[in-house]
Amino acid sequence: MADYLVIVESPAKAKTIKKYLGKKYDVKASMGHVRDLPKSQMGVDVEKHFEPKYITIRGKGPVLKDLRTAAKKAKQVFLAADPDREGEAIAWHLAHSLDIDENKECRVVFNEITKDAVKESFKHPRKINMDLVDAQQARRVLDRLVGYKISPLLWKKVKKGLSAGRVQSVAVKLIIDRENEIKHFKPEEYWTIEGTFLKDQETFEGSFYGINGKKQKLNNKQEVDEVLSQLKGKQFRAEKVAKRERRRNPAPPFTTSSLQQEAARKLNFRARKTMMIAQQLYEGIDLGREGTVGLITYMRTDSTRVSDTAKQEASSYIADSYGKEYIGPNRKNKNTERAQDAHEAIRPTSVFRDPQTLKSVLSRDQYRLYKLIWERFVASQMAPAVLDTVTVHLVNHEVEFRASGSQIKFKGFMKVYVEGQDDQKQEKENMLPPIEEGMTIDAKDIQPKQHFTQPPPRYTEARLVKTLEELGIGRPSTYAPTLDTIQRRGYVTLENKRFVPTELGEIVIDLLKEYFPEIIDVKFTAKMEDDLDSIEEGKTNWVTILDEFYNGFEKRLKKAEKEMEEVEVKDEPAGVTCEKCGSEMVYKMGRYGKFLACSNFPDCRNTKPILKEIGVKCPKCKEGNIVERKSKKQRTFYGCDRYPKCDFISWDKPLERPCPKCNGLLVEKKKKKGTQVECSECDYKESVQQ
């Protein structure tokens, strides 16, 4: 029989840890939180200093019964939930439910699930940190007060099923503000003059800079014509060749938000998917002979700190794999102001576990995310890249063009990894032939180009997460759930991977702006995050913070209940007749975006997906049209609009033109480097189009 009981959140984590601790330890999973505020009522007694009324979560009775039985038999119980506020709260709730003295040294924490890290943590158990618990409790109560007071008001005045929350409301407001910027944006005309120059049969690009060494903007065609009229012939003189050495430092290892951003850019992962796969890598992967091992450190962190041991291991790996000259300087960790320094950045638990060696034991998505984390960490510990940059000043009768280019002198960290945004810049780098001052260079072609300023782009998931982080709103654990919530409530939709606000979202934010301005105020929400951090650090009492908030909030709530008018959200007609009852179909917003529903609801419950025709006749029945559909997992596929009469289906987009080789169906396949046209019936392939 085991002497000690260890409780963690998940079975996967329990399985990994059990192998490290041996027979004396029984490791069980609580399956997340065991207690929470009730769903049927607010569960907070405002009059009694915001006392939370916790209840056992439905379905957790058998789990707690099993844990109580095991706890009674054990000499000691260790609570090993995750090393953050949420994990500390889970440990505290477990201690309460299992009658464990919270002042006992029953709490163990580790940032990585490896044998050494886990065993070391059990040598240093500690008491439950009530400051961390209070910070989590304050957030939970605060969110409950906002949600349970404002949401019923929105149900009554606007539409059932709506909710308001601090972070989600600010996120929706940011999306709406951006949409308004785009709507009110007035494009401005500007011009450039691009030149293609020739030196010893090598061509390179240059752009108009100015006249007589002074930079000049070109606002219209008239100004362009004036410049072109001053050019005499096609010969330019290399007036100046400026060379300098530039060093580019690697990006720091990942935090939660930077991982979500880079996984979106490089792997096309949604924030939720990134966190789900990261959790699998953290909790443990079966590596065969080595057993189950956690491959990355804890994935909810805003710290870029790296332990000395990990730095030394990285230096050793870099020296062996690339040479000593590739080892980077001992960089100081640049954390955000709010970073919890006990945490580390997201990194591999051992840099010697090269992604390629793990490919056979990881799923495709696990491999891709692990590779991204591994490469980013290794690169962060490497030497800067050294680039030689050259700028050539080309002059023709006082008209100056400039050509800039760079050449990598020493790859440094770029041998392993380049950040997503930098990849795009890298593609645009202009390689220049050797040019000396005084040389004569021929212009092969001079072309004026008209441009118009562009509005700011809509937010992608990655950009929204970055903006929330920069504004000090939310925490590593809240980004992905926030993005899910605002879509599920129908406040925004994701179109071409960018957020677009709905009419419903705009109505709700307008009401909040009028009656609860602090809920959508960026500075107020950021200050509240600072206050929660202050509670965590033991500097502020959590009840005091809630008191300060609630006094003003209660007054606004009473005013809103009296003055807020009902708002009718009209369904948009779809121009389609319901085939079941003859009523008009309307557009509705669901969890996965828009769909068609009968306006005669609830008498008629007919619903249909919105089908997008791609202009191709069905190759199977020759009667129907091919339409774009979505699977339950929101993956795009193509089928006949006569389904179920015709069961044609394809994951690849069918094309109208036939295969030139066999007359079969051509499809468009997505590849890493672009799209490729292939025949579905023979070996015909066309080159990849980027």
Q: Is the pLDDT of residue 505 over 60?
A: yes
Q: Is position 228 within any domain?
A: yes
User: Rounded to an integer, what distance in angstroms lies between the CA atom of residue 385 and that of residue 228?
Assistant: 39
Does residue 377 sit in the same domain as residue 389?
no
User: Rounded to an integer, what distance in angstroms lies between the CA atom of residue 390 and that of residue 366?
Assistant: 41
More confident residue, 656 or 296: 296
Q: How confident is the model at residue 341 (pLDDT cuts 50, 70, 90)?
A: very low
> Of 350, 381, 412, at which residue does a domain stop?
381
Residue-wise pLDDT tens digits, 185-209: 999 999 999 999 999 989 999 999 9
Q: Is position 600 within any domain?
A: no
Does residue 268 sit in the same domain as residue 361?
yes
Q: Is the pLDDT of residue 121 over 80?
A: yes
Residue 62: phi and psi, rounded to 5, are -60, -35
User: Which whole number is the average pLDDT over 21-50?
Assistant: 94
Does residue 16 sit in the same domain as residue 103?
yes
Q: How confident is the model at residue 263 (pLDDT cuts 50, 70, 90)?
A: very high
**pLDDT at position 476, please?**
86
At 59, which CATH number?
3.40.50.140
Count of the separate structural domains present in the chain: 4
Domain interval for residue 197: 190-249+385-452
- No. of helices (H) and no. of strands (E), the chain: 18, 29
**Would you say how long the chain is, in residues?**
690
User: Which whole number is the average pLDDT over 465-493?
Assistant: 91
Q: How confident is the model at residue 326 (pLDDT cuts 50, 70, 90)?
A: very high
Residue-wise pLDDT tens digits, 423-468: 444 444 567 899 999 999 999 999 999 999 999 999 999 999 999 9
What dihedral angle (degrees, nearest 10) is formed by the CA atoms of 297, 301, 307, 312? 60
Do the beta carbons of residue 60 and residue 31 sit within 8 Å? Answer: yes
Does residue 268 sit in the same domain as residue 347?
yes
Does residue 243 sit in the same domain as residue 268?
no
pTM of the model: 0.80
**pLDDT at position 597, please?**
93
Q: Hey, what are 589's tokens? A: 């917003």
In terms of C-beta distances under 8 Å and separation of at least 24 residues, what long-range contacts does 267-274 make, across chains too?
267/365, 267/368, 267/369, 267/372, 269/365, 269/369, 270/461, 270/483, 271/461, 271/462, 271/465, 271/479, 271/480, 271/483, 272/480, 272/483, 272/484, 273/365, 274/369, 274/480
User: Rounded to an integer, what distance in angstroms lies between the CA atom of residue 91 and that of residue 517?
Assistant: 36
Handedness of CA 264, 269, 270, 271 (dihedral sign): negative
User: Rounded to an integer, what distance in angstroms lies between the CA atom of residue 493 and that of residue 478?
Assistant: 19
Q: Is position 95 within any domain?
A: yes
Q: Hey, what are 332's tokens? A: 């100081």
Strand pairing report for 25-29 and 4-8: parallel
At 306, which CATH number?
1.10.290.10
User: Which whole number is the average pLDDT over 105-118?
Assistant: 95
Residue-wise pLDDT tens digits, 541-597: 999 999 999 999 999 999 999 999 888 777 778 888 998 999 999 988 665 567 889
At 196, which CATH number?
2.70.20.10
Closest CA to 168 of 158, 176, 179, 160: 176
Do the beta carbons of residue 101 and residue 41 sit within 8 Å? Answer: no
The 3-state DSSP composition of the chain as helix, strand, coil percent (nearest 5) reads 35, 25, 35
Residue-wise pLDDT tens digits, 365-390: 999 999 999 999 999 999 999 999 99
Catalytic residue among 298, 322, 370, 550: 298
Any catalytic annotation for residue 209? no
Does residue 350 sit in the same domain as residue 286?
yes
Does residue 172 sit in the same domain as residue 206?
no
Does residue 245 sit in the same domain as residue 389?
yes
Residue indicated by tokens 């002059």: 395
Q: Is position 490 within any domain?
A: yes
Q: How confident is the model at residue 522 (pLDDT cuts 50, 70, 90)?
A: very high
> Of 399, 431, 452, at which residue does a domain stop?
452
Do the beta carbons of residue 464 and residue 497 sit within 8 Å? Answer: no
Does residue 16 sit in the same domain as residue 43?
yes
Q: Is the pLDDT of residue 296 over 90?
A: yes
Q: Is the pLDDT of residue 134 over 80?
A: yes
**pLDDT at position 571, please?**
76
User: Which whole number is the average pLDDT over 290-306?
Assistant: 94
Q: How confident is the model at residue 2 (pLDDT cuts 50, 70, 90)?
A: confident
Q: Hey, what are 676's tokens? A: 């490729």
Do the beta carbons of residue 510 and residue 564 sit within 8 Å? Answer: no
User: Which whole number is the average pLDDT over 617-625?
Assistant: 90
H-type helices in 516-652, by residue range? 522-536, 542-563
Q: Is position 591 within any domain?
A: no
Q: Is position 286 within any domain?
A: yes
Does residue 550 sit in the same domain as residue 465?
yes
**pLDDT at position 334, please?**
57
Handedness of CA 461, 462, 464, 468 (dihedral sign): positive
Q: How confident is the model at residue 130 (pLDDT cuts 50, 70, 90)?
A: very high
Strand pairing report for 625-630 and 636-640: antiparallel
Do the beta carbons of residue 376 and residue 283 sit within 8 Å? Answer: no
Q: Is the pLDDT of residue 16 over 90?
A: yes
Does residue 322 sit in the same domain as residue 390?
no
Handedness of CA 520, 524, 530, 534 (dihedral sign): negative
Tell which phi-psi region holds residue 356, choosing left (phi > 0), alpha (psi between -120 and 50) or beta.
alpha
Name the percent of the chain lying above pLDDT 90.
75
> Of 539, 563, 587, at which residue does a domain stop?
563
Mean pLDDT across the chain: 91
User: Which whole number is the average pLDDT over 155-163?
Assistant: 83
Q: Is position 687 within any domain?
A: no
Does residue 242 sit in the same domain as residue 391?
yes
Q: Is position 97 within any domain?
A: yes
User: Rounded to an integer, what distance in angstroms lies between the CA atom of residue 616 and that of residue 686?
Assistant: 19
